A and B are shown apart, each in its own frame.
Chain A
Amino acid sequence: MAETTVLARAHTTDARGSLITALIFLPPALAVFTVFVILPIGEAAWYGFFNWNGLRVPENFVGFSNFIQLFGNKAFDRAVINNILIIVISLGVQLPLALAMAVLLAERMVGAVAFRMLFFLPYILADVAAGLIWRFMFDGDYGLLSQISQFFGGDPIYLLSDRTWAYSAVLIVIVWKYFGFHMMLYIAGLQSINRDLYEAAAIDGANAWQRFRFITIPGLSPMIRLSVFFSILGSLQFFDMIVALTGGGPLNTTHTMVSFLYYFGITRMRVGFGSAVGVVLFIICIVVAFGYKRIFMKDD
């Protein structure tokens, strides 16, 4: 009897306590979130309907004009394609490469740790630094690529000046820089797969490919879905390296949506137009993130 009373009392104090805790701790976080996240999003959406240079308050209401200009803009169309290309290259090249390396390096073999480190190192490097280093590598006069070509008797290669191929330079650097990160994800995933399964499969006569296909892939599938998710979001946010590596050039063929926003909105003092780009980007991000989570990650 006494025991239940005590329990009941503990219960009410607990509930009241957590309410008080919530009342004390929630408002600051909520306020910060509202002021720095919700409000700016709303403001950007509002600015998107004005022709505004960022000084004083926006007054020149232009309706959907900014959005109409945006969808007729060649550089923006190219930026959207470039964003999609990042996702394609991530899924088509980076993911298989990372997976293959992970399977190789997850084994306890000599030098595995050293290789893991080596492949992971580019990921630690800042995007801007990576961009500048590779800008030099791709330089037609002094760069490594040109030197190699000339060594074999070819012409110097000015990859970053080539309207058709400059963006492939960006994609190369992306794979170089990020596959190590995805490889680490897979290595972590591999280590959580029960080794007994492999042993049992081997006893049952499964060959290496069958073990990979029916144990490794299903066991890694949550990690693969996560890795693809990171690739897609990474593509949508991709910015710093573009600035350092190509500056969006030549002839605005290597922009992503975010670098387009910066070069065509902020540096041109067209804050209204830039906000419209931001709104479109925000909607794409929301749709992709929630859509992907709902469809592919609902079990995780």
Chain B
Amino acid sequence: MLKKALAGVGLVFALSAGPVAAEDVTITVLEVNDINQQYWQQMGDNFAAEHPGVKVDVQYLENEAFKAKLPTLLQSDDRPDIIYSWAGGVMEAQIEAGYIKDISDARADLEKTIYEGPLNAYRVNGKQYGIPVELSLVSFYYNKALVEKAGVDMSSIKTWEEFLAAVKQMKDAGVTPIIMAGGEKWPMHFYYSYLLMRVGGPDVLNNAKAGKDGGFTNEAFVEAGQLLKDLTDLDAYQAGWLSLMFPASTGVFGDGKGALDLMGNWLLGGQAANAADGKGLSMDEIGLASFPTVADGMGDGTQTFGGVQGFLVTADAPPEAVEFIKFMSTPEQQKIAAEAGAYVPAVKGTDQYLSNPLLKQVAQTLAASTWHQNFLDQDLGPSVGRVVNDMSVAVAAGEVTPEEAAQAIQDAWDQR
């Protein structure tokens, strides 16, 4: 603690002394995944080797703690130089409040290495504010053995109708079709979001935000809710789905107690760790399938839903922090993460280093994606996003009608 305080004092002096004192700078990073420690260590060392006197200090905060603490941290003198971000509405609020540095000058360099789509997720009003680092893809992970037992071929399923038929087939075969962590709500919003994308197409959210065609009460939102309700009506989820929490749900998948899980690629680690035997399913027992399309929908099957997590530089961070961000986004550094199987990097040419075949498939799907939609509970900001989560579960459970759900989202948007 004292050491950190001293480092902070050192930083203040370094800044006030101007560019002469470029040595002994500590860049503080606040991150949410402490499983990536080795990667950070190695990357920090590499950076220090090129920039003598610059130290990278990485702190970790668990997801929810991070979100709860960050607003206070940003307003304090203890503000980290680089912070984790999911882009979207929360980032926009931080930018609007003036806590985030405009790094548009670095854009030209960043464009060379980072995929353009994800990079644009960190662009607001034509200015660049951060970099995407890890991409995640939400898609159907399935237990090959269980699907086969029910006589279903996941790769042949193209439409929602076919998907519903497959769910019925699994039920008839005595297989639990879908694992749903309804207790945390956001897993259900994956279904609602994908259906919305398939029904409404790429402009659906921008139109809703702009208040066009009825805003969030547009027909596409209502239809997405109805289609989701159709799935629940088949009794597709495991018993007690309304209270199952996410970590336990990955264990259910790992134990082979359900066939499908519409989840992000982080499921692969969780299902092993939380399985009863501590091993879960091996990678060749798991298949990956895209979300089906909807008849007469405006969206197509190559459009993807998932995350574009990355980092932002805060307002008073030293210039070295921007250097570090650029350094992070080089293929040489992201190769470390890819090889460790930590995540799918947003940096071009790194997918060849992914050793996990499923992650490789994720990377290829993302590379072919024409539209990658960020999680709605990030994109729409924390207040509207959580209402989307609430409403996804409420519609699925038959607590509200699809029309009421769409109206509730619109109300939340208006009260934002």
Contacts and interface: CB of A to CB of B under 8 A. Distances in A.
A247 B93 contact: no
Interface stretch (A123-131, A157-165, A217-225): A157-165
A269 B183 CA distance: 21
A268 B245 CA distance: 19
A166 B386 contact: no
B69 to A, nearest CB: 11
B58 to A, nearest CB: 24
A46 B400 CA distance: 34
B274 to A, nearest CB: 13
Nearest to A251: B399
Nearest to B412: A268
Contacts of A122: none
Interface stretch (A51-59, A83-91, A290-298): A51-59
B386 A247 contact: no
Interface string B357-389: 000000000000000000000000111001000
A270 B89 CA distance: 13
Interface in A262-288: 266-270
A163 B240 CA distance: 11
Contacts of B383: 53, 268-270
B242 A55 contact: no
B183 to A, nearest CB: 5
B95 to A, nearest CB: 10
Contacts, number: 86
Interface stretch (B7-15, B313-321, B327-335, B390-398): B390-398
B151 to A, nearest CB: 26
Given A51-B415, A56-B98, A269-B90, A249 B240 contact: no
Contact of A267 (B93, B96, B245, B386): B386
Contact of B94 (A55, A247, A250): A55
Contacts of B97: 55-56
Contacts of B182: 161, 249-250
Given A55-B75, A251-B393, A266-B68, A163 B242 contact: yes
Interface string B54-97: 00000000001001100100110000000000000010011011
Interface residues of B, number: 35
B239 interface: yes
A161 B415 contact: no
B242 A161 contact: yes
A100 to B, nearest CB: 33
Contacts of B74: 55
A267 B186 CA distance: 14
A158 B243 contact: yes
B47 interface: no
A141 interface: yes
A269 B382 contact: yes
Nearest to A136: B248
Interface in A200-214: none
Interface in A115-154: 139-141
A140 B182 CA distance: 14
A161 B240 contact: yes
Nearest to B67: A267
Given A69-B415, A249-B183, A267 B393 contact: no
Contact of B71 (A55, A161, A247): A55
Contacts of A267: 64, 67-68, 382, 386
Nearest to A69: B415
Nearest to B255: A141
A75 to B, nearest CB: 8
A98 B359 CA distance: 58
B403 to A, nearest CB: 16
A168 B81 CA distance: 47
B397 A251 contact: yes
B115 interface: no
A56 B397 CA distance: 39
A156 interface: yes
B242 A140 contact: no
Q: Could you say which of A162, A166, A267 has the most chain B C-beta atoms within 10 Å of its C-beta?
A: A267
Contact of B243 (A54, A166, A252): A166
A139 B248 CA distance: 11
B99 interface: yes
B39 interface: no
B225 to A, nearest CB: 15
B241 interface: yes
A140 B99 CA distance: 46
A158 B68 contact: no
A156 B397 contact: no
A59 to B, nearest CB: 11
A256 interface: no
Interface string B107-136: 000000000000000000000000000000
Contact of B93 (A51, A139, A140, A269): A269
B242 A249 contact: yes
A246 interface: yes
Given A252-B390, A269-B93, 15 more contacts: A51-B415, A53-B71, A55-B71, A55-B94, A55-B97, A56-B97, A140-B239, A156-B240, A158-B240, A160-B242, A161-B182, A162-B242, A247-B184, A250-B182, A269-B71
5 contacts: A51-B416, A161-B240, A250-B182, A267-B64, A270-B382
**Sorted from nearest, which 6 A-B pairs have the closest CB atoms?**
A158-B240, A250-B242, A55-B97, A161-B242, A160-B243, A140-B240
